[in-house]
Structure 1
Amino acid sequence: MYSAISISQKIKLYTLILWPILITQISYHAMNVIDTMMSGRAGTTDLAGVAVGSSLWAPILTGFNGILMAVTPIIAQLLGKGEKQSISRSVLQALYLSVILALLVYLAGIFFLPSILQFMGLEAEVSHIAKHYLIGLSIGLVPLFASNVLRFFFDAQGFTRITMVILLIALPISAFLNYILIFGKFGFPELGGIGAGYATGITYWIIFGLSVFMTFKIPSIRSYALFSTWFRPSLKAWKGQLALGLPMGLSIFFEASIFSFVTLLVSRMFTTDVIAAHQAALNFASLLFMIPLSMSMALTIVVAYEIGAGRLKDARQYSKIGITASMLIISVASVLLYFFRESISYLYTDNQDVVQLAMSFFVFAIFYQLSDAAQATLQGVLRGYKDAAIPFIIALISYWGIGIPSGYLLATLTDLGPFGFWIGIIIGLTCAAIGFWIRLALINRRFRHSL
């Protein structure tokens, strides 16, 4: 990281940090897309089972990942202040915390997953596939959480290409493992959608191994001696990270969970074809969301660095650059999605009924892209300021106080059916974007008077 002076220099630095993050995020999500697409080729029931499993897993992953994401602004601000000597201790404490969080997810799955699946009222085979898909995936929870800590450590220093390279290596391995485990190739059992879970879990171990290797391989990273110098676990350090990370994680969780909750309601109220079409559209739309999400993560890095150095004007300039670029790019992507929605639907299934339903869902997905892009990038800026508590409240009210209730009413009291839920999502995301924009204006005013 370095301080860029002119607007053109800032755009260049922001782009250099952004594009590896974007490729990394797309690669991470591509694993889920591959799971869903290849499971769909195994059958509509497999597609529905993996869809339900993925929808239950997504908010858990993003929520806990949000807690660990606190590593980025913490490290970036330490760098901006010139306190490099404190970085190793902070990263190691975050690694300890990541293992604890992974174990908590294991316990929650053991106690609550059977009841959740039973409540959803799924067909027996769909429920079986969803359960065992998640069991297979769970073998990689500890390495996944730990590798994410290392990723945020790399990213905070501007070394965003490290994780990009790791994911580009891991992605084809994940696709190959999906192929042999879903369809039973090279002597392996034919597991259908369940095989996708085991393939992903194994891939998480590979990603972790490569991440640890990079801490020894890259000279500037090796100087921190992460796995050579050990510190005792510190409750004080965990408390500090959780004070920032917990509101961040909950904010992200409440956004991601509305999609999972909608899938749960759709699963209870509509047919397997509707479930499959809903998930196909949501799965691909989420892939597009990796663009503003990546821009949000890059914004957190550059804004936190400038705030740590006491340069409010530069932080505000980065904010404008990132938010404007995000809205322009997602607008173009939404137009392309509209024209190619039929071809995209066929990537998931050959079932004509499912394809027609998915095409309709894609139309609604287009409308929420802009609100989603706006709220994501605004949150990224706020994280750079290490502001998380108020954004968490805004997210909770917007997503669960407004979005879900309005969607449920539209789905049950009008002829919109499952599409009513998507309109509710649009309403919730729009309210969140407005709330985050107001919060950012207030934060900028406060910092202007304090610096």
Structure 2
Amino acid sequence: MKPTTSLGQKTIQFLHILFPILVTQIALSAIAFFDMNMSGRFGTADLAGVAIGTSLWIPVQTGLNGILIGLTPIVSQLLGKKREGEVAYKVMQGIWLSLIVSAIVLVLGALSLGPVLHFMNLEPTVRSIALHFLIAISFGVLPLFGYTVLRSCIDATGQTRVSMFITLIALPVNVGLNYLLIYGNFGFPRLGGVGAGVASAITYWVIFGAGLLFIFRAEPFRSLRILRKFHAFSPAAIKEQLAIGIPIGFSIFFETAVFSTVTLLMSRFDTVTIAAHQAAINFASTLYMIPLSICMSLTILVGFETGAGRLKDARQYSVLGIGSAAALSLATALVLLFAGKHVAGIYSTDPDVIRLIQHFLIYAIFFQISDAIATPTQGVLRGYKDVNPAFIICFVAYWVIGLPVGFVLAEYTDLGAYGYWIGLITGLAIGAVLLLSRLVKVQRRYTAEYTISKSEG
């Protein structure tokens, strides 16, 4: 990354950072898409089982990943301040943190997974598929979180094309393994939906290995001496990362968990409704990769400019990113409006499932627009290292307002399952407004503080 002076230069650098992240996120989403799609074509029960398993795993994965990506603004600000010599130490502490996170996940998963699935009102076949899908995923927890740390560092240096390359390797590996393990082709065991979990675990090891290879062999990571020297566990350094990472993790968890909770609450509906709902959520999540990628790009760029004290440039990147996301959300809304039937046909051949997916996608149009504001705004706030208010806003908007509204509409009106989607729309819209208000306050505060410090200096 380098300083920019004009809007044109900023646009070029923004796109240079954004495009590889977008490709990476779409590829990661495609992995989940192929898990769902290929499991659904094996059988409706497998689609439902993988949907339930994914609904339990994704909030945990994304929430804890959020804690670990707290390393990104730390590294980007260090680079902005020209303190490159401290990067390797921070990354090593991130690796220590990933080991702790992995151990906690495995222990808690072993203790709680059975009781949670037993508590849910699932058909026995669906419950069994969900259980064994998650057991298979657990074998990839350690490399997944380790790679998250490596990717956070890679992206913070502006080398987002490296992450893109690694993910593009992972996609065909995962799809190929799905083909072998879900359907039992070429003599491999025919595992159905569980095979998707096995394939994902193996893929996690592949991307971790690729990440290590780049860290050791490619520039600028070789010059930064990342993982070349052992650094002992430091409570102080871990505390610094947790102070940023925990609010980020909770913000992500609150948003992803509310979608998963809705899926779990909908377990009282029939298997067709569960499958259709999860398919619609899966496609909407694929479209969500656009604002999410812009969010991650803005964290890097705003963090770099803020670290260097170029607050005007940081504000310009904020406007550029949020404006781009809002414009693109209109395009994705048109996709959902006019191509809903074709999208539904990708996930299932069952006419009833296709019809329900198409209906759910109409509701998805509205929260796509809110996501286009809320998600990039969070990325800007992370670049400023202002993370605590955001997770409070997300909790209130999604859990205090959105989920209860959805529950009331679903349980006490004729809307049924659609009521939950209206609740999601309500929570996301309120969250977008509150986050944008917070950003305005933070930028004003930074400007005032910088003006004071400059006058004193």
Q: TM-score, normalised by structure 1?
A: 0.99
The aligned length equals 450
Q: Does 1:106 align with 2:88?
A: no
**1:175 alignment counterpart:** 175
Q: Deviations over 1:278-328 (max 9, x none)?
A: 000000100000010000000000000111011111111000000000011
**1:19 alignment counterpart:** 19
Q: Return 5+ residue gaps in structure 2 as ranges.
A: 451-457
Q: Given that residues 73 and 382 in structure 2 are in contact (C-alpha distance below 8 angstroms), is that contact kept between their aligned partners in structure 1?
A: yes
Q: Deviations over 1:40-75 (max 9, x none)?
A: 000000000001111111111110011011111000
**1:449 alignment counterpart:** 448
**2:222 alignment counterpart:** 222
Letter in 1 for 2:301: V
Q: Given that residues 88 and 227 in structure 2 are in contact (C-alpha distance below 8 angstroms), is that contact kept between their aligned partners in structure 1?
A: no
**2:454 alignment counterpart:** none
Letter in 2 for 1:211: G
Structure 1 position 114, deviation (Å)? 1.1
**Separation in 1, partners of 2:219, 2:292:** 29
Written as runs of structure 1 = structure 2, the 5 A alignment for 1:24-423 is 24-267=24-267, 269-423=268-422
**Separation in 2, partners of 1:98, 1:299:** 24
Q: Deviations over 1:233-288 (max 9, x none)?
A: 11111111001100110011001000010001001x21000000000000010000
Letter in 1 for 2:16: L
Q: Deviations over 1:109-154 (max 9, x none)?
A: 1111111111211000001001111111111111011111111101
**SS of equivalent to 1:219:** coil
Moved more, 10-19 or 211-220: 211-220
**Separation in 2, partners of 1:229, 1:9:** 37
Structure 1 position 87, deviation (Å)? 0.5
**Separation in 2, partners of 1:229, 1:278:** 48
Structure 1 position 413, deviation (Å)? 1.3
Letter in 2 for 1:116: V
**SS of equivalent to 2:226:** coil
**1:435 alignment counterpart:** 434
Structure 1 position 36, deviation (Å)? 0.2
**Separation in 2, partners of 1:349, 1:203:** 25
Structure 1 position 341, deviation (Å)? 1.0
Letter in 1 for 2:102: A
**Separation in 2, partners of 1:371, 1:197:** 32
What is the alpha-carbon root mean square deviation over aligned residues? 0.7
**2:455 alignment counterpart:** none
Letter in 1 for 2:440: A
Aligned-residue identity in percent: 49
Q: Given that residues 401 and 427 in structure 2 are in contact (C-alpha distance below 8 angstroms), is that contact kept between their aligned partners in structure 1?
A: yes
Structure 1 position 160, deviation (Å)? 0.1
Letter in 1 for 2:24: T
**SS of equivalent to 2:186:** coil
Structure 1 position 223, deviation (Å)? 1.6
**Separation in 2, partners of 1:59, 1:275:** 18
**SS of equivalent to 2:187:** coil
**Separation in 2, partners of 1:396, 1:128:** 32
Q: Given that residues 87 and 226 in structure 2 are in contact (C-alpha distance below 8 angstroms), is that contact kept between their aligned partners in structure 1?
A: no
**Separation in 2, partners of 1:119, 1:231:** 44
**Separation in 1, partners of 2:259, 2:120:** 15
Letter in 2 for 1:421: Y
**Separation in 1, partners of 2:429, 2:367:** 8
Q: Deviating runs (4+, > 3 A) in structure 1?
A: none
Q: Deviations over 1:179-198 (max 9, x none)?
A: 00000011111000000000
**Separation in 2, partners of 1:419, 1:59:** 22
Structure 1 position 28, deviation (Å)? 1.0
Letter in 1 for 2:239: K
Structure 1 position 227, deviation (Å)? 2.7
